[in-house]
Structure 1
Amino acid sequence: MRLKSEIFVSALVRRVFANGDFAVVERKGAADAGAIAIRQVLRDGQECLFMPAPQFFSAESGEDRLFEQRLDRVPAADVAARLEKEIRFDGDLWVVVLETESVEGLFAVASDGV
């Protein structure tokens, strides 16, 4: 059984705060099964964007929710433009912003080896 989106997001925000960093829900999506986009804001103003990985990778990894990095260290405007397109496609999308230098241990990220 898959964890509800709102519970996953709430737990993610708590983990980030527990690490001494900052997180905010920028956009709420469908409470039960909305897809989740994660914006990582770095100290230098650059951003990374993580989106749900294709189902194939989730099945292979055994993770309930698996993300893939779609944008890496780009200007905030690039991430905003990409999210705008994603929201037009999926109106139930959650957007969570994390101000942290590392997402390691916060959520599962698909690697090239998966």
Structure 2
Amino acid sequence: MVEARLASGFWVQAYLRRLSLYNIPAFVTAHGDDTAGAVLIKLNTLNGQARAFVRQFDLMTGDRTWQVLAEGPETDVDASIARQRSFDSDLWVIEVEDRDGRHLLDEDGLSG
């Protein structure tokens, strides 16, 4: 079975809309390729800490899941994101700001 994939730009707009329904501020900080760009989510908890999530393909199960790319001091996470962008100019970066650490990536339609 072939899994249909949404265009990146469409997925990003849907994700931003879902976050807004929960009053979770989010911003596109890097606009990637509208069709096939990968998406990286930075969760800023507004206390100097952050986490970056990327979607990865599991070869054993065929699932696509969100994995933590980096976490810790926000400056360290920003440096990791900058490294990712240095070799992937099509990468989208969305910054989510939530003191409670909500990112909604584990919800239906976004989790995998």
| C-alpha distance 48-58 of structure 1, shift in aligned 2 (>3 A) | farther
Q: TM-score, structure 1 length as denominator?
A: 0.81
The answer for the alignment partner of 1:54 in structure 2 is 57
Whether 2:9 is the aligned partner of 1:11: answer no
**Deviation digits for residues 5-38 of structure 1, max 9, x if unmatched?**
0011111111111101101000000000000000
Q: TM-score, structure 2 length as denominator?
A: 0.82
**Deviation digits for residues 25-73 of structure 1, max 9, x if unmatched?**
00000000000000001132310110121352672x3x5xx3211223x
Pick from 69, 79, 82: which aligns with 1:81? 79
Take 1:81 and 1:55, find their aligned partners in 2: how far apart are those partners? Answer: 26
Runs of 5+ unmatched residues, structure 1: 110-114
The answer for the alignment partner of 1:98 in structure 2 is 96
Contact 2:70 2:80 (8 Å CA) reproduced: no
| C-alpha distance 82-2 of structure 1, shift in aligned 2 (>3 A) | same
Q: What displacement does 1:92 show?
A: 0.4
Counterpart secondary structure, 2:40: strand
Name which of structure 1's ranges 77-86 and 29-38 shifts more when overlaid on structure 2.
77-86
Pick from 31, 39, 42: which aligns with 2:34? 31
Pick from 44, 47, 53: which aligns with 1:44? 47
Runs of 5+ unmatched residues, structure 2: none
Aligned residues: 104
